[in-house]
Amino acid sequence: MQGRRLPRPFAGSILSIVSFVNLSLRQISCRIVYCGPALSGKTTNLRYISRKTSPARGRFFSLSMETERTLFFDFLSLPLGEIKGFKVRFHLYTVPGQVFYAGARKLILKGADGVVFVADSRLERIDANLESIGDLRRSLGEMGFDPERLPFVIQYNKRDMTNVVPSARMDEALNPAGAPAFEAVAARGDGVMETLKAASKLVLRQLK
């Protein structure tokens, strides 16, 4: 199989784009990783996308513990357009939110072309959100990612719950750089496709 990694497109950026190009199939494979604290709705996002996608376009794989929490990763592959005659396929992953799976998160994040951070909007989960996004930033920095170059989208999930934190306050705490942000109720699909569309657009913009 012929393939190669795309070169970095910006001087001074490290690992900004690591998409895999299959020359024989004329296909570019990109990875979008869904991060966030445990039970914030990362897997729920992928399950909804899988249900709304025909079997011919994407397949969903999951490795879980008996409690249904994600143990290692969920994976969904979707073809989403072309660039200069090359078909672009997006591989969507989630990583485990539990603190003790830091090594697994780094393994999946290592090849990321874009990141979606799924935050839990409930007041009692603010500390978990802060801890998770802090761990994400540290992990990306340790792996050499340039936060200013990596496509990043944030989703404020579970907006249908009681005592949710206003989005403006969540922006102050979690999104000081002003990345694209979406309110969502992933369990019923609200905001799920909008989040994916924004993340994929940012990745495609860098590829172009």
**Rounded to whole angstroms, how far apart are CA atoms 96 and 74?**
9
| CA atoms of 59 and 87, how far apart (whole Å) | 17
Mean pLDDT for the stretch of residues 69-87: 62
Q: Which two tokens stand for residue 146?
A: 């340039």
Task: Report residue 30's pLDDT band, with 50, 70 and 90 as the boundaries.
Answer: confident
Q: Which residues, including other chains, have CB under 8 Å from residue 176's CB and lie 6 or more apart?
A: none
Q: pLDDT-derived band of residue 146, with 50, 70 and 90 as boundaries?
A: confident
Q: Rounded mean pLDDT of 161-189?
A: 96
pLDDT at 42 over 80: yes
Number of domains in the chain: 1
Task: Check which CATH number belongs to the domain holding 105 and give it.
Answer: 3.40.50.300
Q: Encode pLDDT of 86-123 as tens digits.
A: 778 888 888 765 555 566 667 778 888 999 999 999 99
Q: Give the other-Cβ count within 10 Å of 13's Cβ.
A: 16
Q: Which residue has the higher pLDDT, 21 or 126?
A: 126
Domain that holds residue 133: 4-8+15-207
Asked if 137 and 179 count as a contact pair (C-beta separation under 8 A), the reply is no
